[in-house]
Amino acid sequence: MVLVLQQSETSAASQPGVACAAAFEAATAVSLDQINDDELALTTSDCTTVDEWPAGLGRYPEAIGMTRAPTEAELPMTLANVCSQNESASMCQDAAGQGLLG
């Protein structure tokens, strides 16, 4: 089961790694009036698991144009959207292996 926690609720175990956080920071740095598909694609490879990626998104929801992290109910659709163009990325492979992409 994957849980998406708000930033204030995250523990050290659910923190994104350095590369994952950096990828989300880069995706967040792109202006909302521009497309950040390339930067967002990097999050799916730099965040190597389906547990790490939501932790990164919880810290940087602006990367996908949100002001909060997706809820647990919203996460499968969010994963499906981001993985639709990045199926071979490590996080997307992990999500598919866990049956989270539909």
| 31 part of a folded domain | yes
Task: Provide the residue range defining the domain that includes 49.
Answer: 16-97
Q: Is residue 8 part of a domain?
A: no
Q: Whole-model pTM?
A: 0.82
pLDDT per residue over 47-61, tens digit each?
Answer: 999 999 999 999 999
**Is residue 6 a part of any domain in this protein?**
no
Positive or negative, the Cα torsion across 60, 65, 68, 69? negative
Contact in structure between 49 and 91 (CB atoms under 8 Å): yes
Q: Which residues are within 8 A (CB) of 62 and not within 5 positions of it... i.e. 6 or more apart?
A: 28
| SS3 at position 11 | coil
User: What pLDDT is stored for residue 3 in this prediction?
Assistant: 42
What percentage of the chain has pLDDT greater than the value 70?
87
Please name which of 85, 10, 71 lies closest in space to residue 43, comparing C-alpha atoms. 85
Mean pLDDT for 5-18 is 60
- pLDDT-derived band of residue 2, with 50, 70 and 90 as boundaries? very low
Total domains in the fold of the chain: 1
